[in-house]
Amino acid sequence: MTQSPDCDVLIIGSGAAGLSLALELADHAKITLISKSALESGCTQYAQGGISAVLGEDDSLASHAEDTINAGAGLCDPDIVNFTVSQGPERIAWLIEQGMPFTQVSDSENNLDYHLTREGGHTHRRVIHAEDATGQAIVSTLSPKVNQHPNIRTLEQHIAIDLITGNKIGHTSSRCLGAYILNLNTKKVIVLRSRFVVLATGGAGKVYLYTSNPDGATADGIAMAWRAGCRIANMEFIQFHPTCLYHPDAKSFLISEAVRGEGGKLKLPDGSSFMNRFDPRAELAPRDIVARAIDHEMKRLGCDSVLLDISHKGKDFILKHFPNIYNHCLALGYNMATQAIPVVPAAHYTCGGVMTDKYGRTDVEGLYAIGEVAYTGLHGANRMASNSLLECLVFAHSASIDILPQIKDIPPPPNLPAWDDSQVTDSDEEVVVSHNWDELRRFMWDYVGIVRTNKRLERAKRRVDLLRDEISEYYNNFSVSNDLIELRNLNLVADLIIRSAQQRKESRGLHYTLDYPEKNPHTKITILKSNF
C-alpha cells in the first residue's frame, strides 16, 4: 500500500466547523478534508434555528454571556463563554462575506436589516437565521468554496478508523501524525499523514434510539480521541431537543425552537397548556426543562406525544418564518396553519466531548477538536439554543490562528505503518452488527435517557460491557466496514456517557436522576482520563 501524499492539516468532518476551518487555513496550507458521505451531509445541514450573536442595539455581550451561563446551570467556564460571545459579531460578518443569505426585513422606511429571532434561554432577540434552514444555507454557502479552492482536497465517502500517534508506533513522542481512513467505495484502508489533525466530527446522537441527528452522528471523533489518550469531559450532559415531529415516517424531523420563540404553545392531547406549571418562562425555558416537562406529561398520561400549536399566528406568518417546516409537515399530513402538530423529545446535542482549550488544542500534541465533538466549557450542563453554530465558527477561527504560525516549523510526518488486515476475513455474520447496534440504542434510550436512576445506569453498564467484548472480538476477526466502525465507536462512547452519569451524584441541567433530585452546591465538571 502506498502512503498518501502529505498534507499540512487533515480535517475529519465536513460540517460548519470543518468547512470553516478549511477555508480559514487554505490560503496558507495544504488541506485534506474527510467526509463520511457527501460533503453536505453532516449535522449542520439539519440545523434550522440560527446562530446566536449580539447584533441588536438593545442587546449586549454581557447579556448573551449571562444567558449562556444561566442555561449551563453553573458548569460553564465564564472565560470561555466571554471569549465565544465576544467573537460572535465578527464571525457573522465573516459568514456574510462568504455570501451567507441571512433573512432580511425592511423597516418603515424600507431599509433592509437582518431579522433576529428569540429562542429558549435568551432574554433578547439575537438569533440570526436563513429562514428556517440556517444550517443548510451555511453548507450551501461554504461547500462550493471548499470544492473550488486549489489547496483543499476533499475525500467524500471516507470514514476515519483511528488516529495514528507516535507512541503507538514506537516513537518517543505521542504527537498525532495522521489517521487510518476507510474508502467506502473501494473498501480499502489508506494512511493519511499530516502535520496537524483536526476532529470536527460532530456529536453522539445516534447512540440513542430516537434522535434528531443524521445517521452519521456516531461519536467517531470522541471515540478516536479517547483511544489516542485524550481526556473526555461532561458526557452525562446529552441534550434532548424538546420538539421533534412525531410521525412513523418523519425519522425525528426537528421542529425548530424558533417556533416556540415566535409564539408556538405546547399543549396536552386535550388542548390544555402545561409549561407554565413547570417554569415561569413556559415555552421559552431552556431545553432541559422543556424536554423533562414533556417527558413527565407523556409518562403521566401514557400518551405517545404532546402537541405544538402555532396555528393562531396564521398561514402567512408561518410561511414567512417557517416555510420548510410547514411544507415538510404538510407532506406528512399536518397543516401547521390549521392544527397543532404532535411532538416528542429526541436526543439532539452532546454538550460534553474531547477536552480542549480555547484554540481547540487537545491533550495530544498536533491534535485539535472543534465543534460538537469538543468540550470547551461553553455549554456547561445544558447548551443554550443556537450557541452550537456560533461555537463551530468561533473555534474554527481560533484553531486556525493557532495552527497557521506553526506549520512552517513542524516537519512532515515519517512514513507510517500500513493498515494490517492480513489476519482478518470478510464477515458472513453481518446480523451481529445490526443486532448489537439496535440493542445498544434501545438500552441507552430506556436507561440513560431524559430521566435516570442508579439501577437504570447499572443495567446499562452491564449491557455495554457485554457488547464491548462481543464487538471487540468481531472487530479483531473481520474486515472493517462503515457499520462496524460506527458500532465500535458508539459502544465506547455509550460507556463514557454511562460512567460520567454514574459519577454525578446530583441533578443538574441535562442530567436528571430520581436518586439525587437536588443540585450539589460543590459540583464540578466530570473528567474521564483515557487508559489507552
By annotation, the residues acting in catalysis are 287
Q: How many CB atoms lie within 10 A of CB 196?
A: 25
The cell for 365 is 500534541
Selection from 450, 440, 451 nearest residue 484 by Cα? 440
Q: Are 53 and 88 in contact (CB under 8 A)?
A: yes
Q: Are 382 and 351 in contact (CB under 8 A)?
A: yes
DSSP line for 248-294: TTTSS-B--HHHHHTT-EEE-TTS-B-GGGT-TTGGGS-HHHHHHHH
DSSP line for 71-113: HTTT-S-HHHHHHHHHHHHHHHHHHHHHT----EEE-TT--EE
CA distance 218 to 303: 29
Q: Are 155 and 181 in contact (CB under 8 A)?
A: yes
CA distance 356 to 371: 11
CA distance 361 to 398: 10
CA distance 17 to 370: 6
Residue type, 262: E
Residues ≥6 apart with Cβ < 8 Å to 369: 198, 199, 200, 221, 225, 230, 353, 354, 356, 360, 362
- Helix/strand number for the chain, H first, E second: 13, 20
Selection from 387, 401, 389, 388 nearest residue 357 by Cα? 401
Helices (H), 166-219: none
Partnered with residue 511 across adjacent β-strands are 508
Partnered with residue 308 across adjacent β-strands are 266, 341
SS3 499: helix
Residues ≥6 apart with Cβ < 8 Å to 145: 23, 98
CA atoms within 13 A on the CB side of 163: 35
* Secondary element (H or E) of residue 70: helix 61-71
CA distance 487 to 489: 5
The cell for 306 is 404532546
Please state the φ and ψ torsions of residue 44, each to the nearest 5 degrees. -55, -40
Partnered with residue 11 across adjacent β-strands are 33, 198
